[in-house]
Amino acid sequence: MRQNYNSIKYWESVVSENKTIRGHMFMQAPPRANSLYIHTLIFSKNNGIDNIYAYFPDVKLLLGYIQYSFLQEAFYKWIYGKNKMITKIPALPVEKIIKGGLQRGLITSDIAKTMINNYSRVAKMWDLPKERVFSELTKFIRDFNRTWFGNNQEFLYMKIFKSAVELGDFVVESTMITNDKEEFENKIGVTIDEWNTICKHATSDKLVGEKFQNILQKSLTEVI
């Protein structure tokens, strides 16, 4: 059955049916050749940091996740996470979340406008040819990260990758900024060389792919 990924109802259903971390909803199996990868951070002082590495089977699912799930969660926590612990994200369209925050005086009209513009920019990408979506998402994300860099109270961030190897290189570079090879192994459970090999063969060897899948789901929460 062909799914309509450009639908709030579809994403409400997927989120309600999956009790796992949102970004991991499509990681029941190892990545495949055309999978795409994402790293997201959502931070607020009262809620700590949500640090997710994930992959999606194709670019339209990635686009839908960013529009209907990530922005929903990120903007809700940006608006309401300043003052309280967030334990559940309501099943509301992003526009209603933004409108509610504005009506309660929790965000300014300028912030609300920026949020709406971000959401609308992503929504317009459904009209693009499939082969252009990734490059447009990359441009959007560059601007998004500049906008929501935030401070020590809150910030939002995301980055997308075309391959497991690209993601793997990013993980090594990020980890080695403040750690040595021994700490890398302690955090991830494999050496850098082993990690590079896992990423290289994640989509061609089922057992290796399962190891890659397990590391993303369980071992990368401290790799920012």
Confidence of residue 151 (pLDDT cuts 50, 70, 90): confident
Per-residue model confidence as pLDDT tens digits over 32-71: 999 999 999 999 988 999 999 999 999 999 999 999 999 9
CA-nearest of 137, 135, 143 to 67 is 137
Confidence of residue 1 (pLDDT cuts 50, 70, 90): very low
Whether residue 210 is predicted with pLDDT greater than 90 in this model: the reply is yes
Q: How far, in Å, CA of 69 to CA of 217, rounded?
A: 18
Please, what is the end-to-end C-alpha distance for the chain in angstroms?
A: 37
Confidence of residue 2 (pLDDT cuts 50, 70, 90): low
Q: What is the pLDDT of residue 121?
A: 98
Domain range summary for the chain, segments of one domain joined by +: 8-162, 164-224
Q: Which residue has the tokens 């040595």?
A: 180
pTM above 0.85, yes or no: yes
Q: How far, in Å, CA of 102 to CA of 67, rounded?
A: 20
Q: Where are the alpha helices (DSSP H) in 148-205?
A: 164-176, 181-188, 192-201
Mean confidence (pLDDT) of the chain: 94
